[in-house]
Amino acid sequence: MMLEAELTTLEAALNTLEAALNPLEATLNPLEATLNPLEAL
């Protein structure tokens, strides 16, 4: 029972981290799309 509670807490922490990273990823995606053609040169 204790392990299950710890896993639930860990899952909640990971969800929070993912929510924080999503806006960053949304910002970086257009930048990456811009840089990809330059890398091909």
What integer pLDDT is reported at residue 20 of this predicted model?
96
What integer pLDDT is reported at residue 30 of this predicted model?
95
- In the chain, the amino acid numbered 18 is E
pLDDT tens string 14-39 = 999 999 999 999 999 999 999 999 98
- First and final C-alpha spacing in the chain: 56
What integer pLDDT is reported at residue 41 of this predicted model?
87
pTM of the model: 0.58
Answer yes or no: is pLDDT of 1 > 80: no
What integer pLDDT is reported at residue 33 of this predicted model?
94
